Amino acid sequence: MKPRPGICLVGTLLLVISTAACGEDGARSEKISLTKLELPGWRPTTVESYVGKALYDAIDGYADYHMGFNFKDSERRSFTNGEKRIEVFSYRFDTPENAFGLFSVMRMGSIKLLDVGSESSLEGRVFHMWKGPYYVTISDLGTSECAPEEMLSFATAVDGQFRKGYTKPYLVEALPRKNLVPLSVTYFHYRNALEKLLYLGEENVLQLADDFDKPYDVEAAYGQFLVDKARYELIVLRYQSAKKPEKAARMFTETMKDSLKTTATNWPWAELVERNGKQTVIFRQGNILIFSFPTVRGDVVKQLMQQVVANLKPAKS
């Protein structure tokens, strides 16, 4: 089991999401099988399997997101009942943390969290589920639409193959629970996932991983908070190197220079004020970087960041 990492004080820090959660014992070895999945009244097809980059043959255009979370292998199986057809697609990753990461990226657009699996959501005719080292989709693809209860019956059957529950990445758990919008939470390593949330130009401003053939050396968490009916957004990053947060903070500030009225820097804090009065707050310390999206209440996001930093510190023995 991985130790819970705290804040490294060697270098500098830019964003507010850091550190991977510890997987439960045995998570890496736990495997489920769609060959065992059977429901009364539904006629199954044979199971299709995909290992590593063979996934591109099945979902070309989306597989890049999977590769950004150390994808291992996958199974796909369809079930028919008259004109109804449900497709179950399981994706296995190296850790529960990375499985949660893909789940958080792919379920964007969902409007409600559900209680099946460790976490799940329904988006239109697609059910998303995270459990252990797996991200699972259950898609309604028939000409006759299925009832939500029918899709949930498949999700429940898949969930029943797991032995235990799992925790989210440690960096995600560092986000304050109070006022957090649960469906906003996103965990990632690579630049392509960030660009589903925020486009910062052609350069890799935040020094995220950008080559799927090389190991990542950073993790990030994003979350939205509703405080007094106003929405606030944070990104937290934890790097293996203390040099990258310093470079990322500098490049991030550079992207905003044309709109800035003032810049106040006294690390670990920096405050960027635009000509329209909106503020962006940056926290950088050691290998941690946290930044906010522009807001009229910089004091609110600073308080949220302070809570994140406190949550990231290792507990006193």
Kindly report the pTM of this predicted structure: 0.88
Domain limit, last residue, from 159, 183, 214: 159
**Helix, strand, coil percentages for the chain (3-state, nearest 5):** 25, 30, 40
Cα separation, 71 vs 12, whole angstroms: 31
| 191 in any annotated domain | yes
**Cβ atoms 20, 48 nearer than 8 A:** no
Cα separation, 161 vs 1, whole angstroms: 22
CATH code assigned at 238: 3.40.1000
Whether residues 145 and 185 share a domain: the answer is no
Max Cα-Cα span within the chain: 66
CATH code assigned at 148: 3.40.1000.70
**Cβ atoms 79, 43 nearer than 8 A:** yes
| 24 in any annotated domain | no
Whether residues 77 and 197 share a domain: the answer is no
Whether residues 112 and 196 share a domain: the answer is no
Number of structural domains the chain divides into: 2
Nearest alpha-carbon partner for 141 in 80, 187, 185, 199? 80
Written as six digits, the tokens of 263 are 């810049």
Whether residues 137 and 186 share a domain: the answer is no
**Cβ atoms 129, 156 nearer than 8 A:** no
- Show the domain range for 190: 170-312
Whether residues 218 and 307 share a domain: the answer is yes
Whether residues 306 and 176 share a domain: the answer is yes
| Predicted confidence (pLDDT) per residue in 45-96, tens digit | 999 999 999 999 999 778 999 999 999 999 999 999 999 999 999 999 999 9
Whether residues 263 and 202 share a domain: the answer is yes
pLDDT of residue 315: 54
Contacts (Cβ under 8 Å, ≥6 apart) of 99: 69, 91, 92, 93, 130, 131, 132, 133, 134, 135
**Cβ atoms 288, 13 nearer than 8 A:** yes
| Predicted confidence (pLDDT) per residue in 15-51, tens digit | 333 333 334 444 455 789 999 999 999 999 999 999 9
| 27 in any annotated domain | no
Domain limit, last residue, from 159, 192, 207: 159
Nearest-Å Rg of the Cα atoms of the chain is 21
